[in-house]
Structure 1
Amino acid sequence: MAKIELHKVAGRDRLSPRRDPYFQRLETGKALGFRKMTSTSPGSWIARYREQDTGRQIHEPLGTFENLPPSERFDAARRAALAWMTHLERGGRLDVVTVADACRVYAEHIASTKGDKQADDLRARYRRWIDADPLGPVELLKLKREHVRAWRARLHAAPITSKAGDTRPRSDSAVNRDMTAVRAALNHALAEGAVASSFAWDEPLKATAGADGRRTVYLTPQQRRDLIANASDEIRPLLRGLAILPLRPGALASLTVADFDRQQGTLRIRADKAGAGRIIKLPAGAAALLADCSRDKLPGAPLFARADGEAWNKDAWKGPVKAAVIAAGLPADAVAYSLRHSTITDLVVSGLDMATVAALAGTSVPMIAKHYAHLQNDRAADALAGLAL
């Protein structure tokens, strides 16, 4: 019987067509197979792995690698086979998991651990950017960097359409948010053993640095008063709330009357980007604002409601905030989020410890330190000066 030399093009050409693959040993318990059904077919590659404890043999089809020159196909098939075998040796799963599957499983995981609000946001992103995209059906074990890079390019090229029908180019910060959702799903799949490595997406899904420039817009207390004074009667309460509470605009807008305890003077934050709920003890001014906003409303009604009784959302507040910014003569890039940034800045500069600031703002201490620690440099220098002998 002639020696099987799958690593040589001539060796594969000499093989007689047949249904059963020809196998070449790679390592103990590991082999690479080549199936040639007709004399003119490019042939397809198969990996074979034998479990050491049970002796069971497992096969995995690898494809034809027709996109490569014949001289490079063996090496490509060998790399794919060994990657799959390494995946099995690390306890990886045998079932086929696609990118779309990973996203669906992750959304279900978030629904069970953090609630439907965050899960629904993820599902909406996955429906738009994964389910109908060529990336969705790609198997995780066959996922390559070029797949993910191409998806990122398509994501960046897709314009955003508002509820009003307006379109605009996608910003780097918007792309970062959608990539974060997909990266989280893939990392979860990695942790669950559906894939052996994050090499395919680690580099292509790195966030664009400095994309979220809104944190740099600080409004002084007088500028905040001017913004509120120039706002419409409809949105003014929401802006007042953002000016005195370090909450994300979406978290403040999602509050209901039941979240405000008038007797205790506290506010319960149920839904926020950070996930975990929290209760804030309100100062007198904030409590008075919320008492006024909750007057004559049912417990389930939005605490900060629009004129039609509906809750505010980013599409609804964007126009009124922009109009107030222009009327007040404020920096053109000031947005609703600028109020949150400004209140957090004031809390840090006042000397409030970062753990408390993070708890109030609904974020982590490392995140506060990353963006605001430099504001305490003067205070730190004064403290060091006090150590002088």
Structure 2
Amino acid sequence: MGEVLARYADDKGPTLASAETLAYSIQALAPFWGGLTCDAVKGSTCRLYERERAKPRKTETTSRTGKTIIRTRAAGASTVRRDLGVLQAALNHAHAEGMLIHPIKVTLPAAGDPRDRWLTRSEAAQLLRHAEPHVQRFILISLYTGRRESAVLQLTRPRVDLEEGKIRFRADGQAETKKRRGKMRIPKQLRGHLRRWLRHPGTHVIMFRGKPVNSIKTGIRRAAERAGLEGVTPHVLKHTAITWAVMDGVSVEDAAEYFDTSPETIRKHYWHHSPHHQERALEVIERRR
């Protein structure tokens, strides 16, 4: 399995938009799976991996002041599903490349119900007020564009066209994935911020100490703690952007086009927030005599 994971990382890693996420998952998978043979992949070992990942582990990080911070964390079901999804992809690749004679099926843990956490406008204002400048940029871009963390952090200056009023979140030559990035028009509220930010030098729109930012999770978490908010992650900002648009009356088709998200996803996860939700059915029912 170690060879399978290494081959997948070498062959696919350079072509993926989420190469860092892939590397993180492989680092988590390797200690458990690396020494096993591929025929050991079955339901029982997948469930054992889930239990192992659920055990609290201490991690050490160093703050900007040089202080060592120790945190205890355990992987949740969604993280395990992501890890095992990478394991399945690696096995599929190994089979396609002739390393395996037969395909091998990975058993995934059950998917939990999606969290419906989104920020009110007052919560968003509080988060902004307590965030560092580069985190504020991320928050504003996320709330106006509804793009994923990686798409926002990897946004380079040449892909922001203030004259045409458009942003290209996907780089030239970058393969599109199911987690689409696409192109969008810039709202006038965000255009003013971008114009001010782009006056400063740098390769990316979001920079910290002169360098691009690889992850904003810690910055968001700290801002949320200072603001007294719970359950705030970068994905919550994307969820908030689409929820606000739907609450303001944007249709399924327009939301899907603007946020480069499928209509099915809009209907499944956001449409219940719309003032038009079940509107036509309600009109018909209320016309009954």
- Give 3-state SS (helix, strand or coil) of 2:146's partner: coil
- Give 3-state SS (helix, strand or coil) of 1:280's partner: strand
After TM superposition, the structure 1 = structure 2 runs for residues 309-328 of structure 1, keeping only pairs within 5 Å, are: 309-312=210-213, 313-326=215-228
Matched, 1:287 2:191: yes
AA partner of residue 45 (structure 2): H
- Give 3-state SS (helix, strand or coil) of 2:141's partner: helix
Q: Aligned partners of 1:318 and 1:380: how far apart in 2?
A: 32
After TM superposition, the structure 1 = structure 2 runs for residues 5-44 of structure 1, keeping only pairs within 5 Å, are: none
Counterpart pick for 2:252 among 346, 354, 370: 354
Which residue of 2 is the match for residue 339 of structure 1?
A: 237
Which residue of 1 is the match for residue 140 of structure 2?
A: 240
CA shift digits 1:60-80 (9 cap, x unpaired) = xxxxxxxxxxxxxxxxxxxxx
Contact 1:304 1:311 (8 Å CA) reproduced: yes
Which residue of 2 is the match for residue 217 of structure 1?
A: 117
TM-score by length of 1: 0.60
Matched, 1:174 2:79: yes
Counterpart pick for 1:262 among 152, 159, 162: 162
CA shift digits 1:54-111 (9 cap, x unpaired) = xxxxxxxxxxxxxxxxxxxxxxxxxxxxxxxxxxxxxxxxxxxxx3343344445544
Matched, 1:228 2:128: yes
Q: List gaps (5 residues or longer) in structure 2.
A: 63-68
Contact 1:100 1:130 (8 Å CA) reproduced: no
Moved over 6 A (4+): none
1:277, distance to aligned residue in structure 2 (A): 4.3
TM-score by length of 2: 0.77
Q: Aligned partners of 1:230 and 1:250: how far apart in 2?
A: 22
If asked which structure has higher relative contact order (CA below 8 Å, sep 6+), I would say 2
- Closer, same or farther in 2 for the Cα pair 1:158/1:290, shift >3 Å? same
1:362, distance to aligned residue in structure 2 (A): 4.5
- Closer, same or farther in 2 for the Cα pair 1:218/1:121, shift >3 Å? closer
Contact 2:180 2:261 (8 Å CA) reproduced: no
AA partner of residue 271 (structure 2): A
After TM superposition, the structure 1 = structure 2 runs for residues 270-309 of structure 1, keeping only pairs within 5 Å, are: 270=170, 274=178, 276-298=180-202, 301-306=203-208, 308-309=209-210
- Give 3-state SS (helix, strand or coil) of 2:47's partner: helix
Which residue of 1 is the match for residue 150 of structure 2?
A: 250
Count of aligned pairs: 273
Q: Aligned partners of 2:249 and 2:104: how far apart in 1?
A: 41
Q: List gaps (5 residues or longer) in structure 1.
A: 1-98
1:137, distance to aligned residue in structure 2 (A): 3.8
- Give 3-state SS (helix, strand or coil) of 1:161's partner: strand
Q: Aligned partners of 2:157 and 2:177: how far apart in 1?
A: 20
Q: Aligned partners of 2:103 and 2:119: how far apart in 1?
A: 45
Q: Quick one: percent identity of the two aligned structures?
A: 20
1:289, distance to aligned residue in structure 2 (A): 1.3
Contact 2:8 2:90 (8 Å CA) reproduced: yes
CA shift digits 1:185-224 (9 cap, x unpaired) = 334556677364655x22xx224514x64xx222222332
RMSD: 3.2
Contact 2:80 2:109 (8 Å CA) reproduced: no
Which residue of 2 is the match for residue 102 of structure 1?
A: 4
- Give 3-state SS (helix, strand or coil) of 1:157's partner: coil
- Closer, same or farther in 2 for the Cα pair 1:287/1:152, shift >3 Å? same
1:385, distance to aligned residue in structure 2 (A): 4.1
Q: Aligned partners of 1:232 and 1:119: how far apart in 2?
A: 26
Q: Aligned partners of 1:354 and 1:105: how far apart in 2?
A: 41
Contact 2:160 2:168 (8 Å CA) reproduced: yes
